Amino acid sequence: MGRLKARMREAYESNQKNEHRSICLHSFSDLSHVSAATFMYLLKDCYFYGTHKATAKFRILQQQVKRALNNDPQPGPFTYIVQCMYIIPLLGQSHAEGFSHMLISSLRHLKSVESVQKDFIDAKCLAARLVLDILASVVPHEERILVKLLETFDIELKDMAHAFCGSELGDEDLAAAREHLKQHVQYFMKSESYVTAVALMTRFSIQCCDESFLIKLIGGKQYKAAEEWAAFMGKEMIILIIQKYLDVKMLKSANELVKQYDLAEEFPDVNYLYKESSLKKLAEKGCWDVAEVRAKKDTKLMEYLVYLAMEAGYMEKVDELCERYSLEGYVKSLGFQKKSCVSLTT
C-alpha cells in the first residue's frame, strides 16, 4: 500500500512538472501577449523545475530564449530584453548574473536581422537609461553585465546624453554626459575596477589618466584592458606597453602588438627574441623535433637551437643538427670563444 502511494505521488509530481513545462513552452511559443515580468517568472520556474546541473540548464534555457525572441515579443526583442533586465534583480542575487548573461547573449543572432533594426535603434536609448540606473545603483547588476550591455546595444555617447538629458542634443549635452560618465570612471578606478573603467573610457572617449594608469593595469595583470586603453590613447602608449612587456619578458604579447600596430621599425629585434623564447620553451619541454621544424628556415635560429642542445648537454642532438644543417663551424666557434674567455681570466 505504501509503495502504491509513493508511486501515485511520483506520478502526480511528474504530471505537475510536465504540465508546468507545457505552460512555459506554450507561452514561449508566442510572446505577443506575454509581459517581460511574466516571461522572467516562467523562465525562473523553468530553471528551478529542471533536473539537470546548472550549466546544462542554462544552456538549454538559452536555446529556448533564442527561439522565443523570434516569436513576436512586444514591442520588439531588444526592447523586451531591456525590460527583462530591470526585472532580473528581483529574482534574487544568486541567479541575476546568469540570467542577465543568458538574455543578453540571446540577442546576438538578431543584430543582423533586418526586421528588428528599428527596435534595436529604439532600444539603444532605453539600454542607455538602464546603464545610467546601474551606474547609480538604482538597478543592481554586476559590472560585467554593464559592459556587456554597452557592447551588445552598441551604446554611444549620444545615446547616453539623450538618456541623461532627455532633450534635443547639443554640444553642451554631450559634454555634460561625458563629464557625468567621467565621475563614474574615477569611482571605478578608485575601487580598482579597472576593466569597467577602461570600457567606459574607450567607449565614450574619456581621457583622465596618464601612463601611471597603464603601469597599474600591467601590475594588476589586466593585460587586455591595458592594451585596449593603450590603443585608445595612441601610438605613444602602445610603444610604452610594448616596452613594459619586454621588461617583464612577455615576448609573445609584445610581438603580437608590434605586428598588430606595424611597429617593427621601432622594435626590430622583438620578433626574433620571441622566436628564440619559443624555441627555448620547446627545448625545455624536450620537444626538440618541433623546435627544429620551427627553426628550419632560419640559420640563426638553428644555431640557437644547437646552442640550447649544448647547454642541455644533449650532444647527440648537437651532432645530429650539425650534420643535418652543416653547423660544425658554428660549434667550433663557440668552443673557441669559450677557450678565449678562459685564457683571459687566467
Which of 53-57, 103-107, 240-244 is least confident?
53-57
Task: Give pLDDT, residue 44.
Answer: 85
Residues of the domain holding 47: 1-119
pLDDT band at 22 (very low <50, low <70, confident <90, very high): very low
Q: What is the rounded distance in angstroms from the CA atom of residue 60 to the CA atom of residue 53?
A: 11
Residue 39: inside a domain, yes or no? yes
Residue 47: inside a domain, yes or no? yes
Task: Give pLDDT, residue 8.
Answer: 37
Please check the confidence at residue 26 and state whether its pLDDT lies above 50: no
- Please provide residue 89's backbone torsions phi and psi, each rounded to the nearest 5 degrees: -60, -25
Q: What is the rounded distance in angstroms from the CA atom of residue 174 to the CA atom of residue 149?
A: 20
What Rg, from alpha-carbon coordinates, does the chain have? Answer: 30
Most confidently modeled range among 86-100, 275-289, 317-331: 275-289
| pTM to 2 decimal places | 0.80
Q: Nine-digit cell at 145?
A: 553585465
Residue 312: inside a domain, yes or no? yes
Please check the confidence at residue 41 and state whether its pLDDT lies above 90: no
pLDDT band at 149 (very low <50, low <70, confident <90, very high): very high
Residue type, 48: F
Residue 164: inside a domain, yes or no? no
Structural domains in the chain (count)? 2
Distance of CA 52 to the CA centre of its chain: 27
Q: Three-state DSSP class for 261?
A: coil
Q: What is the mean pLDDT of the chain?
A: 85
Please check the confidence at residue 133 and state whether its pLDDT lies above 70: yes
Question: Where a domain ends, among 119, 154, 187?
Answer: 119
Q: What is the rounded distance in angstroms from the CA atom of residue 319 to the CA atom of residue 117?
A: 67
Question: Where a domain ends, among 119, 135, 165?
Answer: 119
Evaluated on CA atoms 49, 54, 55, 58, the torsion sign reads positive
Residue 66: inside a domain, yes or no? yes
Peptide bond preceding 268: is omega within 30 degrees of 0, i.e. cis? Answer: no
Residue 148: inside a domain, yes or no? no
Residue 337: inside a domain, yes or no? yes
Residue 253: inside a domain, yes or no? no
Question: Where a domain ends, among 119, 150, 171?
Answer: 119
Q: What is the rounded distance in angstroms from the CA atom of residue 303 to the CA atom of residue 107?
A: 53
Beta carbons of 67 and 24 less than 8 angstroms apart: no
